Amino acid sequence: MKIYRDIKEFKPLNKAVVTIGAFDGVHIGHKKILNRLTELSSLVNGESVLITFWPHPRLVLKKDAEPIALLNTLEEKIHLLDTFHIDHLLILNFNEEFSKLTADAFIENILIKSIGTRYLVLGYDHRFGHDREGGIDYLNANKERFNIEPVEIPKQEIESLAISSTLIRQALLHGDSKLANQNLGYSYLLRGFVIEGNKLGRTIGYPTANIFIEDQDKLIPKNGVYAVYVYIEGERYKGMLNIGVRPTVTNDLRRTIEVHIFDFAQDIYGKTVRLELLTYMRAEVKFNGIDALIEQLKQDEIDARAIL
């Protein structure tokens, strides 16, 4: 998959098969569109192109509204999209100026002139251009003018899956990791680097790596304990993760993300860690002292190892 972060880098293709979208989460609803994109490009002997946006359009268009928490960072999204064998990924900078681009200008300047679009694959309800004026109906009405064949993913195909990024966000925020992962089609990901903590865990037999998530728009799931896979420099380990404020040992209300990696004793300060959250095991609880906390951690380890 070739990646372009500027439209000027892209050379127009002879027969581009294109789709457009934010694709936050790259969930199983998106897979219908992505599979159709690659199947069609193969069928017509063309090249598949996915146009996405960064930052997420809702971060730009709804600045005064409640902020959206993203299921993927940009790098996570790129990694997930790469598994679909798309030929070209074009990442357009979404800003206020871009948001005012009319549907005609977007079609003529980007889809036709810059990319060479011959087929455009869209979900039934996808809209584009200023005031959402473009869509399947608009393309069909102007097929001769644009010489673009619109390919619609029908309503029943998308809605029969009952998938949306909003549903997944709500599941994660309520601790329903099973529902979230089923709808994502993979285990929810957190990616960050290891920073120094207060080292309390090592004094009670459960040393933890404190993970800092650099992208502040990334959705952090509900506080609690999770069974996780931990990836460090390409190697996979098993562990248990705590998200929360550690009420038994501190009065600090800042959330932390700490992972105890089973059977692991390496120094990983500063290294990047990727976490796959398999199962939400329990809520964060304030225990009556350190001894009670240690006993619960022992049980958490038993439960997590059984899950993993």
- pLDDT for 59 equals 87
Helix (H, G, I), strand (E, B) or coil at 276: strand
Query: Is 162's pLDDT higher than 70?
Result: no
Q: Counting beta carbons within 10 angstroms of the beta carbon of residue 308, is it exposed (0 to 12), middle (13 to 18) or buried (19 or more)?
A: middle
β-pairing, 188-195 vs 16-20, is: unpaired
Structure confidence at residue 117 (pLDDT): 98
% pLDDT > 70, the chain: 96
β-partners of residue 119 are 17, 149
Task: Read off φ and ψ for residue 257, nearest 5 degrees.
Answer: -125, 110
| Identity at 37, one-letter amino acid code | L
99-109 tens-digit pLDDT? 999 999 999 99
Specify the pLDDT at position 182.
Answer: 95
Least confident range from 70-79, 97-106, 138-147, 242-251: namely 242-251
Alpha-carbon separation of residue 215 from 28, 185, 192, 196, 207 (angstroms): 24, 23, 9, 18, 25
For residues 72 and 74, give the distance between their C-alpha atoms in angstroms, rounded to a whole number. 6
Q: What is the predicted pLDDT for the residue at 196?
A: 85
Specify which residues 242 forms β-bridges with.
225, 258
- Closest Cα partner for 89 from 120, 53, 122, 40? 53
Buried b vs exposed e over 50-70: b needs ≥16 C-beta within 10 Å?
bbbbbebbeeeeeeeeeebbb
CA-nearest of 159, 188, 185, 191 to 172 is 188
Cα-Cα-Cα-Cα dihedral of 129, 133, 139, 140, to 10°? Answer: 170
**In the chain, what is the greatest distance between 2 CA atoms, to the nearest angstrom?**
75
Q: List domains and CATH numbers for the chain.
A: 2-161 (3.40.50.620), 166-307 (2.40.30.30)
Nearest CA-CA partner of 305 in 267, 263, 247, 244 = 263
Which of 88, 86, 90 lies closest to 31 in space, CA to CA? Answer: 86
Using the predicted structure, report yes or no on whether residue 267 has a pLDDT greater than 80: yes
Q: Is the pLDDT of residue 157 over 90?
A: no
Report the SS3 class of residue 220.
Answer: coil
Query: Please, are residues 299 and 263 in contact by the beta-carbon 8 Å criterion?
Result: no
Which pLDDT score, from 0 to 100, does residue 211 have?
Answer: 97
What Rg value do the Cα atoms of the chain yield, rounded? 22
**pTM for the whole structure:** 0.89
Q: What is the pLDDT of residue 65?
A: 62
Residue positions counted in the chain: 308
